[in-house]
Amino acid sequence: MAPRRDEEAVETDPPLNKEKSSPYNSDPEKESDIDDVHRRESEFLESVEKNANAALRNPLAGLSKKALFKDVETFAESKGLTEHIDILKKGALVAQNPSQFEMIEELSEEDKETLRMETTHRWKQPWMMYFMTVLCAGSAIVQGMDQTTVNGAQVFYTEEFGITDTWIRGLVNGAPYLCSVCIGCWTSAPTNHYLGRRGTIFVGCFASTASSFWQAVTDSWWHLFIARFFMGFAIGAKSSTTPVYGAECSPAIIRGALVMMWQMWTAFGIMCGFIASVVFFYIPAPEGWNIQYLNWRLMLGSAGIPPLFVGAQIFFAPESPRWYMTKNKYNKAFNSLCRFRNTKLQAARDVYYIHKLLQVENKLKEGKNLFKEFWLRPRNRRAAQSSFFVMFMQQFCGVNVIAYYSSDIFIQADFTQPQALLASMGTGIINWLFAIPAIYTIDTFGRRNLLVTTFPLMALFLFFTGFSFYIPNEQARLGCVATGIYLFMAVYSPGEGPVPFTYSAECFPLYIRDVGMSFATATTWGFNFILALTWPSLSDAFTPTGAFCWYAAWNCFATGFAYFALPETKALSLEELDQVFSVPTTTHAKYYLKMLPWYFKRYILRKDVPPRQPLYHLEQ
């Protein structure tokens, strides 16, 4: 169980109904302003509790300027930010009316130009934002290499260790994911609590380096299994923390693009793992060494180099501002935001707005068990359902069959060993290159739309690949199998590739985000282990054709689920997503069921039909 937040470390808000709690007792007019703030907070809390429509309410909406400023003063005094009171008041006005900042007379023309550039030049960010992005990308490269160096290595260590049982082979390959689902993902919650996001990533990098070098010196299959099992601590820690760190530091307008860097650079790491297999393929074991092969040891050991650089880089990056807020370290949170935003005005706006929404989250969680809250609260359960779906399908869409066993698949299609490794390297290159467009589409086209578009195409290409094994002509069979796999990777990369970790990192409220992300990553690594364990036996029992068709069928199912039951999360703050996931799944499904005739008339019959009311809208 994730530890509860230390109550002494987190300062609670002043009680609403006790006179001693207010610093304005002697002034009835000021008391009226504070009461107005509390009334608005209560209304907002009630809207979150009972929300059955898709209105995304701003908790500051409707407050008078005087009441808003009094609340800012109280906030600044209680959090030690009084030296920033003027800029905090400006930021609060912007947070109250984000789309109408041009009308705010307190803002200078320079302030307004900065806010305009958030939408007109959204990629003009401070260098620290990109430094953080590079750090997250490096962590993802480590993750990718951890996953795929085994692809080429298994061709040799199965022979050296005499592994003939398909279940033992699957167990060794899937060992890191068994550890991740059972231990690694769940230990990330307490390490995040005590060490922060940066500390957890550092621990993951250390475990990755140690386990990679350990694998390179093993002398039996069970020894290799233990070393790979230990790698699961690294995979669990990095995968459940790095996307959250990126999400919590990024502005909403580019959050999806920056967080999806996790998957894009994981794809780059996967490509590097394939390249390592090709580079070390022909290196023989030196004479006099008591080993049969050296090449597979170099393949597995090479994954221990990148984490050394990421572990060093982590010391120069700021901690997550939202994590600082959970520890009541608001000065550090504000300073961190100042490094992640272009101006102090933007940092002041974000620190105050996040604080107001966290107040609501804190009230919702008072006296509640986090794990019970995770499953029993409808908003959290819907987030878990959506996160489970995208993480489950990241495995059962079939991509990691290709990542782990593509060399074997190509060999079964009559490729030679060197040809199989080169063809596998091609899948890694395509996986990375076709993830690049998602930097733009994930925040414009949207997470849900990407999945609804790509799932049916992935199903089509898996069917094509599976039935290509029946082609009698060898050259035609080789070409069609490779083409089907390459087309599948090209479609996977901008859709189900980047979406799951981006989606899971943003869909849970802060107070259970560590638990939620642990659940999400445990889901993906649990089914990853099942896939790695069962593919050798599944391929033998079903034949490659049946096995590919099995995963194609799952993509057909996913198309329908994503269309009817998966909420969209693009371009909303992490806190505004509370309202999105307060919408019942049945309401979501009914809305999109009614949209089917509209889509048919608009895009098939090409009729001029009036636009439908959007499912979600933000109340100012």
567-596 pLDDT, tens digit each: 988 877 665 787 788 889 999 899 999 999
Of 106-120, 304-318, 413-427, which one has max mean pLDDT? 304-318
- Separation of alpha carbons 37 and 610, rounded Å: 40
Confirm whether 496 is domain-assigned.
yes
The pLDDT score that the predictor gives to residue 49 is 53
Phi-psi region of 80 (alpha: psi -120 to 50; beta: other; left: phi over 0): left
Q: Clarify whether residues 234 and 378 are in a common domain.
A: yes
Residues 601, 607: contact at Cβ < 8 Å?
A: yes
pLDDT band at 7; cut points 50, 70, 90: very low
Which of 86, 105, 120 finishes a domain? 120
Confirm whether 4 is domain-assigned.
no
Angle between helical axes of 261-279 and 499-507 (0-180°, round to 10): 140
Q: Clarify whether residues 255 and 228 are in a common domain.
A: yes
The pLDDT score that the predictor gives to residue 38 is 63
Give the residue with greater pLDDT, 8 vs 356. 356
pLDDT at 34 over 80: no
Q: Which region among 32-36, 182-186, 596-600 has the lowest average model confidence (pLDDT)?
A: 32-36
Q: Which region among 407-411, 437-441, 575-579 has the lowest average model confidence (pLDDT)?
A: 575-579
Q: Clarify whether residues 189 and 225 are in a common domain.
A: yes
Interval 238-264 mean pLDDT: 81
pLDDT band at 36; cut points 50, 70, 90: low
Which structural domain range is residue 109 located in? 29-120
Which of 120, 143, 176 finishes a domain? 120
pLDDT at 514 over 80: no
pLDDT band at 35; cut points 50, 70, 90: low
Which of 565, 592, 608 finishes a domain? 565
Q: What is the CATH number of the domain that holds 432?
A: 1.20.1250.20
Q: Is 57 helix (H, G, I), strand (E, B) or coil?
A: strand
Any residues with CB less than 8 A from the CB of 251 and at least 6 apart, and which? 118, 125, 340, 341, 346, 350
pLDDT tens per residue, range 482-505: 999 999 999 999 999 888 888 887
The pLDDT score that the predictor gives to residue 54 is 41
pLDDT at 311 over 70: yes
Give Rg (Cα) of the chain: 26
Q: Clarify whether residues 49 and 167 are in a common domain.
A: no
Q: Clarify whether residues 146 and 97 are in a common domain.
A: no
Q: Clarify whether residues 256 and 334 are in a common domain.
A: yes
Number of domains composing the chain: 3
The pLDDT score that the predictor gives to residue 617 is 63
Q: Clarify whether residues 79 and 160 are in a common domain.
A: no
pLDDT band at 612; cut points 50, 70, 90: confident
The pLDDT score that the predictor gives to residue 551 is 93
The pLDDT score that the predictor gives to residue 474 is 84
Q: Clarify whether residues 115 and 135 are in a common domain.
A: no
The pLDDT score that the predictor gives to residue 11 is 36
The runs of H, that is alpha helices, within 566-616 are 577-580, 585-599
pLDDT at 280 over 80: yes
Q: Which helix (H) or strand (E) holds 618?
A: strand 617-619
pLDDT at 401 over 80: yes
Confirm whether 10 is domain-assigned.
no
The pLDDT score that the predictor gives to residue 10 is 35
Q: Clarify whether residues 254 and 105 are in a common domain.
A: no
pLDDT band at 37; cut points 50, 70, 90: low
- Separation of alpha carbons 246 and 258, rounded Å: 7
Of 153-167, 411-425, 456-470, which one has max mean pLDDT? 456-470
Confirm whether 560 is domain-assigned.
yes
Answer yes or no: pTM beyond 0.85. no
- Separation of alpha carbons 232 and 280, rounded Å: 24
pLDDT at 158 over 50: yes
The pLDDT score that the predictor gives to residue 478 is 86
Confirm whether 466 is domain-assigned.
yes
Q: Clarify whether residues 155 and 103 are in a common domain.
A: no
| Cα→Cα distances 183→180, 189, 201, 224, 432, Å | 5, 11, 16, 18, 29
Interval 428-448 mean pLDDT: 86
Interval 273-295 mean pLDDT: 87
Q: Cβ of 615: how many Cβ atoms within 10 Å?
A: 16
Confirm whether 541 is domain-assigned.
yes
Q: Clarify whether residues 178 and 312 are in a common domain.
A: yes
Interval 200-218 mean pLDDT: 95
Any residues with CB less than 8 A from the CB of 14 and at least 6 apart, and which? 21, 22, 74, 78
CA dihedral sign, ordered 454, 391, 487, 539: negative
Q: Clarify whether residues 226 and 188 are in a common domain.
A: yes
pLDDT at 26 over 50: no
pLDDT tens per residue, range 456-465: 999 999 999 9
pLDDT at 436 over 70: yes
Of 98-112, 370-384, 487-501, which one has max mean pLDDT? 487-501
Q: Spell 28-48 as b/e; 16+ CB within 10 A means b.
A: eebeebbebbbebbeebbebb
Closest C-alpha to 263, from 558, 502, 571: 502
The pLDDT score that the predictor gives to residue 6 is 38
Token pair, residue 156, equals 């040799």
Confirm whether 15 is domain-assigned.
no
Confirm whether 59 is domain-assigned.
yes
